[in-house]
Structure 1
Amino acid sequence: MARVPLAVARIAGMAWTVPNTLLGLIAGAVGMAFGAHAHVRGRECAIVFHRFPWGPGGAITLGNTILHTGDSLDSPCMTYAHRAGHAHEAPITYADHERAHVFQYMALGPLFLPLYLACGGVSVRNRFERAADRYALTGRGWWPWG
């Protein structure tokens, strides 16, 4: 059996997570009224809204959109385990961490948000966050049950 080309899988994943992406686009459009600006990042398969004016800082992914409070996703940040004092890990970038979430959304579509919340939301114990950190550190392992 022939392997499905990566482009076809990406298009299918983007279609599957459209409801989540629409939430991100609406939030991003509102943020643009308050100074955010949008860029397409092909490597992340996402539209990124930089200088998003709300939240404690950092980034949040909704489907194929990323809402980021800073100027560049290439900025360094610490892993959840490092911030919680559970491990001493090298800094990662927002781009690598959030790309893992984009891939998770593309695989799980509308199931992502309920599963993410059921796993603990924004927390060091959340398997989605641990997988995103693992991917950001190694370039592999974005699947939360891997």
Structure 2
Amino acid sequence: MDTAMADPLCMVIKRLGDWIGRYSVQIVCWSGTDRRQLLTECQAKHIDLSAFPTDWADLQAFYTSIMDVGSHGCVSLGDVATWFGIEFDESTGHAHSALADARVTAKLLKQVMDGDYRVSPRAQEVRQRWGMGERAQTRLSSKCPELGDLLLKLKAEGK
């Protein structure tokens, strides 16, 4: 999206806060980078975030854990999408586009909520690029407990 003609950040934050309202909200993101950038921008522009949700869940931490990637640490959204068979295409857009990244992150969140982690045949491409062994594993762990809490909360609400 072209930001040259976008509304100022303070207006966007206010509208988002109004839209969220009084709901209990957890923001799901891919890595903590977006959160840090938002906080930095708002501090620099003296934008009050007191009404903004503070509960953030990092899907990158969760997927890094279930992929058992060991020393590879932070894994790119594109590599995880490949690993789990999600393509950046006409329906999502290209990688590193805010909307496309949000759509792919939403698809990954759906996998978390459904408990449906299907490793695609293309996972081996990622493993080879990283110099990992042959077998692609998916194991759940407690490295990202906030996503487990979110899943339990959503199931309790019948969503």
TM range (shorter): under 0.3
TM-score scaled by structure 1? Answer: 0.28
Higher helix share: 2
TM-score scaled by structure 2? Answer: 0.26
Higher strand share: 1
In our comparison, the structure showing a higher alpha carbon Rg is 2
